[in-house]
Amino acid sequence: MTPDGTRRAAALLAYINDSVVEMSSPDAAELSKLLENVFRNINIAFVNQLALLCERMDLDVWEVISAAATKPFGFMKFTPGPGVGGHCIPVDPYYLSWRAREFDFIDRFIETAADINFAMPRHVVDLVAEALNDRSLALKTAKVGVLGVAFKPNIQDARNSPAADVLAGLAERGADVRFHDPHVPSFRDAAGVKRESTELGALIDWADAVVVVTAHAAIDWTEVYGHSDLVVDTVDSSRGHATRPRQVLRLGAGWSNASDRRWSGEPSLK
């Protein structure tokens, strides 16, 4: 709160950080944090909108983004997905918008971006229904397995995970839902229903469709794509794996198999 307090805090933090940035006030520091998180939320919302457009245009959003990322300046790569999670990105845009209103400032841009990401789990549920319909199955009474419920890969933190709304949305429309996550043994969905993680092989054998929400490295993706009859891939986890025709419905790309991929691996600057 004072220059002397800032110096003392910086000296303490210097023991655990290589670089400590001293700000002019706690408000400025807080807004800096909000800027970083809201920046990501807005860009994720943009590529999510682009993914929805690519589905209608019969284009592959992942190919489009990878090609754009070959530009060595002026572009930062963001990828679409089933929504945003964690304790910051889903919350901070609404907090900043609320704070702005206290100064008679309405920021519809920030709110719209947050609303786009908030709606993505519902789109994932619609994709599962579309995939099942391709097999002449209805979402109602279908068996659906969800892979990954943590809010991002390779962690056990499931706070505000989009998987909560995906699971609840599938169940609300009549599906029997189970999940597998090597890092999250139990999980409560957005409707308050608590479920326990199912072993991967058992989930694949049981499910009419598998939907990938979080692509943990610890999940055996060779088993997923080698033995699952139907997969809804929301995070491009199928890239690099052999898939069969009309086995995989990808968010932002539609039906695809390995032979469809015109872009593989990381972007090249050649």
Give the residue-averaged pLDDT of 22-26. Answer: 92
All structural domains of the chain with their residue ranges = 24-109, 121-260
pLDDT (0 to 100) of residue 264 = 47
CA distance 47 to 61: 8
What residues act catalytically? 88
Mention every residue, 6+ apart, whose C-beta is less than 8 A from residue 40.
Answer: 78, 89
What single DSSP character describes residue 23? Answer: P
Asked whether 228 and 210 are in contact (CB, 8 A), the reply is yes
Confidence class for position 267, pLDDT limits 50, 70, 90: very low
CATH C-level class of 121-260: alpha beta
Cα torsion 146, 207, 57, 50 to 10°: value is 0
CATH number given to 24-109? 1.10.1040
On the CB side of 3, how many CA atoms lie within 13 Å of its CA?
A: 0
Give the residue-averaged pLDDT of 213-241. Answer: 97
Q: What is the pLDDT of residues 128-167, one digit of tens each?
A: 999 999 999 999 999 999 999 999 999 999 999 999 999 9
> Is the pLDDT confidence value at 225 over 60?
yes
